[in-house]
Amino acid sequence: MAVDTAVSPQVQPYAFSSLGSTLQVHAAATPPSSAAAWSPSHSETLYRVDRWGPPYFAVNSAGDISVRPFGDDTLPHQEIDLLKVVKKASSLGLQLPLVVRFPDVLRNRLESIQSAFDSAIESRGYGAHFQGVYPVKSNQDRFVVEDIVEFGSGFRFGLESGSKPELLLAMSCLCSGSPDALLICNGFKDAEYVSLALVAKKLRFNSVIVLEEEDELDVVIDAGRKLGIRPVIGLRAKLRTKHAGHFGSTSGEKGKFGLTTAQILRVVKKLGKFEMLDCLQLLHFHVGSQIPSTSLLADGVVEAAQIYCELFRRGAAMEFIDVGGGLGIDYDGSRSGDSDISVSYSLHEYASTVVKTVAFVCDRNSVKHPVICSESGRAIVSHHSVLVFEAVSASFNGDDPQRRTDSPCVERLSDDARAAYNSLYAAAMRKERERCVFLTEELKGRCVEQFKQGNLEMEVLAAVDGFCDFICVSDEIMTYHVNLSVFTSIPDFWGIGQLFPIVPIHRLDEKPELRGFLSDLTCDSDGKIDRFIGGEASLPLHKLVEDTGGGAYYLGMFLGGAYEEALGGIHNLFGRPSVARVVAQGGDGFVVKSAVAGASCGEVLRAMGHRPQAMLETLRQRVEEFAGDGGAAGTVMDGFFCCLGNMPYLAGAAAMKGGGGGGGDEAEE
């Protein structure tokens, strides 16, 4: 496998590595069942990869997750083994957690959306074309935006901005894009934002200023007069159509954005007064993200298309109808219209619904078919990246039953506790699982009360806990400690309960013998993942292997390419993960086009206003005061310096030996 223009980050040895460390992994008490008949196809079904993965993800014959960069057109030799990518990235000095980007998938998503609308337009005999727009808020990464502009230039794909910095990056990127691409300017605006958008028009960008509030029209008119630039104006309609659930909260009459019917009429009247009706050319609307069904989509499009026709009838030079976002992702593969994490339609069904509905309403009103635009950010970028992280240890939520050596001293228990103990023992012998769960809680509760009263020794209380854990161990859910910050890398799970597919990326030819939830590195009780697709509170997982020579256990979070990176914070000062851009390459499998190390300790400290160099100088004075100025002081200072250059996450076994993880610079192409 070749590596093009990839610069390995400068590898820093693990700070204070001479101190050493040991990871404790608790094995399950129950013997593993036979896995002789287990195959990768069983894992594909167990983790629902066969439902949410197509056409980009599958389980290969080696038991690893494979990426199919060209979707359904991917040939067998073009599939990319994700485990091999992780190993290659590690050899380049990248430390986990790691975001792996697949630009080929991004290209395929753009082509698939364009193809779906082109097919619907041709089959319906629609009188205009489709012209997509990427909302950069979905993922503002430079490479992502530049790739979208490059890949979409052949079919006039444009960009949408919702703030001044987004507008600046959109203008810069579109310099190399299609001259026909749209530059949609959404979001709340001040005079500076509007002036930037008008200057963009002067520079021959096809900028459209979309009114989110009625008062913005005055700002546009005033700025246009001062700059001598006649604007192209759109307006966002606040539809009455609304869908339920979290993602419908920005739609409907009480939505955050858009103009009501009365406000639209006042805007049209004012534009007529200033002889600017010819400037109004686009209608924008947004039913809501993750539109669950085509029936709801059709309701919204009918309402919006009728508004479009009314604007045309009132003299506006209407040309574009922008259906906004809402093209959903089926995160769990259920094809359900009753869920925030699924949709009940295909890409082609979505496009067909939009085209035929707009055509129906316009034909009914004898209005020329408009150019159809969409801002399907989630649908464009969700599939193109995978977050890979490592489970570093695992433990039972109680004491490990294998370590239990004491039995409860029954004679020291109160009469009520002793009765509960005897009942629990009898229920266990009869294998009455539900009654055992009830009785363990009763026994523990009675013993705790006896302990609080000072009538029970701590040793006996611990023995009771061990006994209860032993009874219930067959269904024990384990805690897998992962080298990750939920708040940084999966903020939507913590913030709104968004679920993403999480799957081991290897060992899928083995039967998982345990179940567990994931606990991150942060000192925060919310730093865990305890809900998974399929309504599960735990995930089937494999035993960890205590083998520093190759026992890493890698998990992947999929379909998270939209929003997660921009929304992630630095809680506990855990910064952004490392990033590798990977493209398919003939018989060699893949090429790592660039490797970018994650944020170092020094970087996240600077992000919060601290000055790492000043901190080192302060610590140097402290070291000289208490450790002297000999070799010991130099060793300590070297450790401080090394730590500032390393990522905040736990270093892997290789890095602890001096072979990994550091704060390198981005590889320039």
Catalytic positions, written as ranges: 523
- Say if CB 349 and CB 116 are below 8 A apart: no
How many residues in the chain? 669
Strand pairing partners for 416? none
Amino acid, single-letter form, for residue 497: G
Please name which of 206, 203, 208, 202 lies closest in space to residue 220, comparing C-alpha atoms. 208
CA separation for the pair 219, 224 (Å, rounded): 8
Q: In 53-184, where does DSSP find H-type helix? A: 82-91, 103-124, 142-152, 164-174
Site of tokens 């950010």: 377
261-273 and 294-313 helices, crossing angle to 10°:
30
Give residue 55's Cα distance to chain centre.
19
> What does 147-180 look like in DSSP terms, one character per residue?
HHHHHHGGGT-EEEESSHHHHHHHHHHHTTS-TT
Strand pairing partners for 66? 58, 81
- Pairing between strand 578-585 and 98-101? parallel
Cα atoms in the 13 Å half-sphere on the side-chain side of 157: 28
- Cβ neighbours, 10 Å, residue 384: 26
Amino acid, single-letter form, for residue 281: Q
- Residues sharing a CB contact under 8 Å with residue 63, sequence separation 6 or more, in sequence order: 40, 43, 506, 507, 508, 509, 510
The pair of structure tokens assigned to 651 is 């270093």
- Cβ neighbours, 10 Å, residue 180: 12
Site of tokens 């104006």: 233
CA separation for the pair 193, 165 (Å, rounded): 9
CA separation for the pair 576, 647 (Å, rounded): 9
Q: In 175-293, where does DSSP find H-type helix? A: 191-202, 216-227, 261-273
